[in-house]
Every structure is written in structure tokens, then in C-alpha cells.
Amino acid sequence: MNFENIKQKMDSESMGGCQIPSRIKDIETSKMPIQKVRKRMKSEIITQLILIVIFFAVPSFLEMHRLPKTVYYIFMFITSLITLGYLAKMSWFLTRYISLSNNSKETVIAFIYDLKLTLEVYKTAIISGSLLFPLAMASIFFGSVKIDENIYNDLILLNMPVSTLILYIFGYIIIAILIYFITVSWSNKLYGVHIRNLERILKEFNFE
């Protein structure tokens, strides 16, 4: 009996059942959440740009007094500048990681780090812009020609009883808190899950 032939056959069968090296597998797997993040950001950039155009066009379809219309445009201009700032940050992020051909452990680490920084800018911009949004909506509502112009003027000049002013301030604070938690929850839902997946994949890299 040729024991050498038997040994070679067993070695051949053993090699045939081996698995893909974990490093290669992890690199390929890491591309999936990265692609999902890039796709989500592209969609968000397009959506935000469309919303900016829509909000600027709203007064054109409504009859408003001059002062509230002017105030509305001022608030929307500031909000749009803030929005365009974080959209530029997102665009820079997408441009930097436009190619996944050199995907490696170092690329994944850099991607996670830059994504976290981008999300901080994202959350800050969304919260800042959203805090101006209720004032813009108040201008739209109280600025209608169907409502006495003095009502809006008194609101802007804070010409109202102290109790009413406190009620407005309290309501605005509640809205601000809700905006903060909704924004954080929304960003975690959109991107947080992908960050956690990437961090999990990163731990599985074969460093040998």
C-alpha cells in the first residue's frame, strides 16, 4: 500500500475545504455598509436641495404682508446657509471615499472616523437650522393677508402680556428639545447602525 499517495490525497481534500481568509472576507464585507452610507448621503443631499427650493418658493404661492414675507426669507436664507454648509461637508466626505478599490483596515478606520465627524456637523446643522424653522412657519401663518398685520408686528416686537410671552418661550423650548432628540435619533437610525457594523467588522480583521 502506498502510504505517500494516501497522505497526499488527504492533504488535498483538507485544502479543498478551507475557508476564505478572514482578512479578505472582512474587507469585502466592510464594503456593504460603506456603500449604504454613501447611497444614503447622496439621497439626502438631493432631498435637502429640493426642500430648499420648495421653501423659498412657498411665499410665491401665498398672499402675505411685506414684513412677514421679508422675515421669512431672512430666516430661510440663514437656514439654507447652514444646510448648504453640512451638505458641502457631506459632498467632501463622498468625494474622499468615491472609490473603494483600496479598501483595507486603514481605509475602514479612516472612514469611520470621518463619518463620525461628518455626523456631528450634520446634527449641529440640522438642530441649528430647525430652531429657526418655527419662526419661519410663524411668519407664514401670521403673515397671511387674511390675518391682521398688527398681530404679526406685535409678535415680532414682543408687544404682548408677560404671561403670553412666557408661554411662547416655554413652547419654543419644548420644540427645541424635541428637535434635538428627533435629530439625534434620526441620525443614529440612518447612519449609526452602519457605524456599529463597521466597528464590528473592524474587530474581526485578521492582523496576522
Q: Is residue 175 part of a domain?
A: yes
Q: Could you give the percent of the chain with pLDDT greater than 70?
A: 79
Q: Which residues span the domain enclosing 133?
A: 23-203
Domain total for the chain?
A: 1
Q: Is residue 156 part of a domain?
A: yes
Q: Is residue 89 part of a domain?
A: yes
Which residues are CB-neighbours of 155 under 8 A, at least 6 positions away?
138, 142
Over residues 101-134, the pLDDT tens digits come to: 555 677 778 888 888 888 888 888 888 877 888 8
Over residues 151-192, the pLDDT tens digits come to: 888 888 888 889 888 998 898 888 888 888 888 888 888 888
Task: Tell which residue, 109, 100, 102, has the closest CA to residue 31.
Answer: 100
Q: Is residue 159 part of a domain?
A: yes
Q: Is residue 191 part of a domain?
A: yes
Q: Is residue 113 part of a domain?
A: yes
Q: Is the pLDDT of residue 6 over 50?
A: no
User: Rounded to two decimals, what is the model's pTM?
Assistant: 0.72
Q: Is residue 137 part of a domain?
A: yes
Q: Is residue 146 part of a domain?
A: yes
Show the cell assigned to 155. 409678535
